[in-house]
Structure 1
Amino acid sequence: MNWYVMQVRSGHEREIANRCRFLISDDVLYDCFIPEFVARKKFRGVWQDVRCVLFRGYVFMITEHIEELYVELKKIPDLTKIIGKKKDVIYPLEDGEVEFLKRFAGDDHLVDMSVGFIEGETIHISEGPLKGYEGMITKIDRHKRIAYISLHIFGNDTTAKVGLEIISKN
Structure 2
Amino acid sequence: MYSTKKGGIIIWYVVYCPHQNMQNLMELCKKTLSEQAAACVFTFTYDRMKRYQGEWHLERSLSFPDYFFIESSNGEQLEKEMNRNELASKILATGGIVTPVDKQEEELLRRLSDESHHMGMSTGYIAEGKTYVTQGPLVGYESRIRKIDRHKRLARISLPYAKGEMELCMGLEIKTKS
- Same fold by TM (over 0.5)? yes
Could you list the per-position Cα deviations for residues 60-81 of structure 1 after superposition, in whole angstroms to 9, with x for gaps in the alignment? 1111222332343353445511
Alignment of 1:54-93 (within 5 A): 54-74=63-83, 75-76=86-87, 77-78=90-91, 80-83=96-99, 92-93=100-101
Question: What SS does the aligned partner of 2:139 have?
Answer: coil
Instruction: Measure how far apart 1:11 and its partner are.
Output: 4.1
Of 31, 42, 60, 1:22 maps to: 31
Of 99, 102, 115, 2:107 maps to: 99
Change (3 A) 1:126 1:63: same
Alignment gaps of 5+ in structure 1: 84-91
**Aligned pairs, how many?**
162
Q: What is the alpha-carbon distance in structure 1 between the residues aligned to residue 19 and residue 133 of structure 2?
A: 30
Kept after mapping to 1: 8 A contact 2:105/2:159: no
118-127 or 73-82: which moved more?
A: 73-82
AA at the equivalent of 1:21: K
Change (3 A) 1:70 1:43: farther
- Which structure features the higher share of strand residues? 1
Kept after mapping to 1: 8 A contact 2:145/2:156: yes
Q: What is the alpha-carbon distance in structure 2 between the residues aligned to residue 49 and residue 27 of structure 1?
A: 36
- Per the alignment, residue 158 of structure 2 pairs with 150
- Per the alignment, residue 119 of structure 1 pairs with 127
58-67 or 160-169: which moved more?
A: 58-67
Q: What is the alpha-carbon distance in structure 1 between the residues aligned to residue 115 and residue 140 of structure 2?
A: 19
Q: What is the alpha-carbon distance in structure 1 between the residues aligned to residue 129 and residue 31 of structure 2?
A: 49
CA RMSD of aligned residues (A): 1.8
Question: What SS does the aligned partner of 2:173 have?
Answer: strand
TM-score, normalising length from structure 1?
0.86
Alignment gaps of 5+ in structure 2: 1-9
Question: What SS does the aligned partner of 1:129 have?
Answer: coil
Q: What is the alpha-carbon distance in structure 2 between the residues aligned to residue 13 and residue 53 of structure 1?
A: 11
AA at the equivalent of 2:66: G
Q: What is the alpha-carbon distance in structure 2 between the residues aligned to residue 146 and residue 15 of structure 1?
A: 28
Kept after mapping to 2: 8 A contact 1:13/1:34: no
Could you list the per-position Cα deviations for residues 35-92 of structure 1 after superposition, in whole angstroms to 9, with x for gaps in the alignment? 1111111222221111111122211111122233234335344551112xxxxxxxx3
AA at the equivalent of 1:108: S
122-131 or 46-55: which moved more?
A: 46-55
- Per the alignment, residue 137 of structure 1 pairs with 145
TM-score, normalising length from structure 2?
0.83
Kept after mapping to 2: 8 A contact 1:97/1:153: yes
AA at the equivalent of 2:38: L
Identical amino acids, percent of aligned pairs: 31
